[in-house]
Amino acid sequence: MTDQLDVERDGAVLRVTFNRPEAHNALTFAMYQGLYDACETADADDGIRALVLRGAGGKAFVSGTDIAQFAGFDGAAGVEYEERITRVVRRLEDTAVPTVAAIEGYCLGGGLALAAACDLRVATESARFGVPIARTLGNCLSMDTYALLVGQLGPARTLDLLLRARYLTGADAHAAGFVAELVPADSTLEEVLAGVLGTLAGHAPLTMWATKRAVARLRRANLPPGDDLVERIYGSADFARGVRLFGSRQRPDWTGT
């Protein structure tokens, strides 16, 4: 694992904590691989009954991929990157035990993809969900991630989220059915999470496994190719400009090239 990703067994629960609070838990490639390995660990241990993902610091679940990972990208590197993300997202989706994302603060970009790949999401009202790349980086998603978001949020809401680069609040996401449990003002995330995990622990593991597999197969059926979209966008001058100016006070002047 990596010191930026904490993996701890808590009874029958494997807890994975994204631990870069100073960077709003932005993910490095090592952290993505660490999550993949954690899924392998969960499936290799018959005593694990649930996998929980959470961000450290209380201000973010995951704010996306660390921008430093995009240095020197071209179209081919973009395709390779999105394939890497799809590999991790699908591994999380394929984990045999129920997976739960416990979300406080920002859940953006790659973080939203990971949360969407989980079976259930528990969130506070302070949670903010989005993929603001039309405003920030000027990149795009893989076809697999688009399909994941459309499946969870519907095409209209996915388009609104991406085209206007807007955020859903915790309450918005709960009303949309994306968040299974919204933490009430008189409770805590850990208390609500404990109730969800307690329910899962009492249910038939094989029934839950079959349900997960069936939903994943339905999502992936007839998924069209999309590498041509990814290659064009990641090889564009707009994306290079977005990466260069990210975090500065200067907004990119998008040219469509």
CATH code for position 22: 3.90.226.10
Query: 99 in helix, strand or coil?
Result: strand
What's the rounded Cα separation, in Å, for the pair 168 and 177? 12
C-alpha closest to that of 22 among 1, 35, 4, 8 = 4
Say if 136 falls within a structural domain. Answer: yes
Say if 107 falls within a structural domain. Answer: yes
pLDDT (tens digit per residue) in 223-251: 999 999 999 999 999 999 999 999 888 99
Say if 228 falls within a structural domain. Answer: no
* Structure token digits, residue 206: 């094989």
Domain span holding position 169: 5-185
Q: Is 148 left (phi over 0), alpha (psi -120 to 50) or beta?
A: alpha
Question: What is the DSSP code string of 60-95?
Answer: EEE--B-GGGGTT--HHHHHHHHHHHHHHHHHHHT-
Say if 127 falls within a structural domain. Answer: yes
- CA angle 79/85/87 to nearest 5° reads 100
The 10 Å Cβ neighbour count of residue 164 is: 12
What's the rounded Cα separation, in Å, for the pair 93 and 51? 11
Say if 224 falls within a structural domain. Answer: no
Residue 1 has what pLDDT? 53
* Structure token digits, residue 215: 């939903």
Kindly state the helix (H) or strand (E) to which residue 44 belongs, with its residue range: helix 29-44
pLDDT (tens digit per residue) in 50-72: 999 999 999 999 999 999 999 88
Say if 28 falls within a structural domain. Answer: yes
For the chain, the maximum distance between any two Cα atoms, rounded to a whole number of angstroms, is: 55
Residue 66 has what pLDDT? 96
> Which residues of the chain are modeled with pLDDT < 70?
1-2
**For residue 142, how far is the Cα from the chain centroid?**
13
The total number of structural domains in the chain stands at: 1
Say if 233 falls within a structural domain. Answer: no
